[in-house]
């Protein structure tokens, strides 16, 4: 099984896909007159068709990339410290970060696929999970970065991630508060076209700017993972299969397994097997390297 040495492309892809999606859908929504060019929410640029189709599909892809990145980061730290009992704090933080990161990715998909004009409650839950979860994930990774110094990262990188966490937390809180105030003061007819003459304009600008800053902060954080992911490699997974046969001499199932391995029964499956009173045999094999081989007991 060959090692994968291109895992650094995961956080790098996350860094590019989200800003690119936002810019594309923003341009389309403004050109089609679906939103105003002055300070729209990110989700406002993906509310109406056709930009909503691009927005939902791209964010779904980005959410999958985030989950993969979170998983690789989790495995990287767990493999590094699994034999160090003194590092129980970082292991707990690592597990918490994996859960929070996956919830954040789920929130991204929710907010992108449930537009505020259709199911506002689900959209808001997704937005809170996405921005709140990504903010907490940055904080947890900043804590881990101080523990992994100097093995994985420098102290400057730990300080940078902590700074990103502070910025994300500050603007997430500010954005939520100002969004509530702005919508309570809004006296227009379409929140996607918010004008200075409508109530709550100042709070609206602060809220939308905070949202864009939070999203940018998360993208920058993902970029900081690229150097560390270059040191990580993963092998293809092994798949275990339990195969039940009637008899190694007259079973069609057994013969089909032999054909997969090139027709050699003795080299494909172990001679020992668990036989039941009915004459059936249960064999376990591993699928790997494009072939089946027996599990050694």
Question: If pLDDT is split at 50, 70 and 90, which confidence band does 69 have?
Answer: very high
Q: For residue 271, what pLDDT band results from cuts at 50, 70 and 90?
A: very low
Evaluate whether 270 touches 294 at the Cβ level (below 8 Å): yes
- Provide the terminal-to-terminal Cα distance of the chain, rounded to the nearest Å: 22
**For the residues 217-230, what does the mean pLDDT come to?**
94
- What local confidence, expressed as pLDDT, does residue 272 receive? 45
pLDDT at 122: 92
pLDDT at 240: 83
Q: What is the pLDDT of residue 193?
A: 83
Which pLDDT does position 27 carry in this prediction? 93
Confidence of residue 268 (pLDDT cuts 50, 70, 90): very low
Q: Which of 38-47, 57-66, 196-205 has the highest mean pLDDT?
A: 57-66
Contact 270, 243 (CB under 8 A): no
Nearest to 134 by CA among 207, 206, 220: 220
CB 4 within 8 A of CB 234: yes
Residue 209: predicted pLDDT:
94
Whether the predicted pLDDT of 263 surpasses 60: no
Q: Is the pLDDT of residue 97 over 60?
A: yes
pLDDT average, residue stretch 235-244:
80
Q: Please tell me the predicted confidence (pLDDT) of residue 256.
A: 47
Q: What is the mean pLDDT of residues 172-176?
A: 95
> What percent of the chain is modeled with pLDDT above 70?
79
For residue 265, what pLDDT is reported? 44
Tell me what pLDDT residue 259 has: 44
Which position has the higher pLDDT, 89 or 85? 89
CB atoms within 10 A of CB 256: 11
Q: Which of 59, 55, 53, 62 is nearest to 24 (CA)?
A: 55
Query: Is the confidence at residue 168, as pLDDT, over 90?
Result: yes
Q: What is the rounded CA–CA span in Å between residue 164 and residue 141?
A: 11
Of 53, 12, 46, which is closest to residue 30 (Cα–Cα)? Answer: 46
Query: Peptide bond preceding 182: is omega within 30 degrees of 0, i.e. cis?
Result: no
Task: Please give the helix or strand (H or E) that residue 58 lies within, else none.
Answer: helix 51-81
Ramachandran category for residue 39: left, alpha or beta (phi over 0 → left; psi -120 to 50 → alpha): left
What per-residue confidence (pLDDT) applies to 162?
96
pTM: predicted TM-score of the whole model, two decimal places = 0.79
Greater confidence (249 vs 64) lies with: 64
Whether residue 44 is predicted with pLDDT greater than 60 in this model: the reply is yes
Q: Are 98 and 54 in contact (CB under 8 A)?
A: no
253 pLDDT above the threshold of 50: no
Res. 290: pLDDT tops 80: no
Average pLDDT over the chain reads 83
Please tell me the predicted confidence (pLDDT) of residue 132. 95
């Amino acid at each position: 099984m060959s090692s994968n040495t291109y895992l650094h492309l995961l956080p790098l892809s996350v860094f590019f896909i989200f800003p690119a999606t936002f810019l594309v859908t923003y341009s389309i929504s403004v050109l089609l007159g679906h939103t105003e060019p002055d300070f729209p929410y990110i989700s406002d640029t993906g509310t109406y068709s056709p930009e909503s189709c691009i927005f939902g599909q791209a964010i779904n892809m980005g959410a999958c990339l985030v989950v993969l990145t979170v998983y690789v980061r989790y495995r990287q730290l767990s493999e590094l410290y699994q034999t160090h009992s003194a590092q129980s704090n970082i292991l707990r933080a690592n597990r918490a970060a994996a859960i929070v990161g996956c919830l954040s990715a789920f929130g991204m998909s929710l907010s992108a696929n449930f537009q505020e004009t259709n199911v506002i409650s689900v959209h808001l839950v997704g937005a809170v999970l996405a921005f709140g979860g990504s903010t907490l994930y940055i904080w947890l990774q900043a804590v881990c970065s101080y523990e992994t110094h100097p093995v994985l990262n420098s102290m400057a990188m730990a300080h940078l991630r902590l700074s990103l966490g502070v910025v994300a937390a500050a603007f997430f809180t500010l954005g939520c508060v100002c969004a509530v105030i702005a919508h309570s003061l809004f006296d227009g007819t379409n929140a996607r076209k918010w004008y200075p003459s409508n109530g709550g304009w100042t709070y609206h600008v602060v809220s939308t700017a905070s949202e864009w800053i939070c999203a940018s902060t998360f993208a920058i954080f993902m970029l900081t993972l690229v150097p560390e992911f270059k040191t990580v490699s993963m092998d293809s997974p092994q798949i275990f299969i339990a195969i039940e046969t009637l008899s190694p001499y007259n079973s069609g199932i057994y013969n089909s397994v032999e054909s997969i391995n090139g027709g050699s029964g003795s080299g494909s499956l172990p001679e020992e097997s668990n036989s039941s009173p009915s004459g059936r045999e249960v064999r376990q094999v591993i699928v790997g390297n494009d072939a089946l081989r027996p599990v050694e007991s």
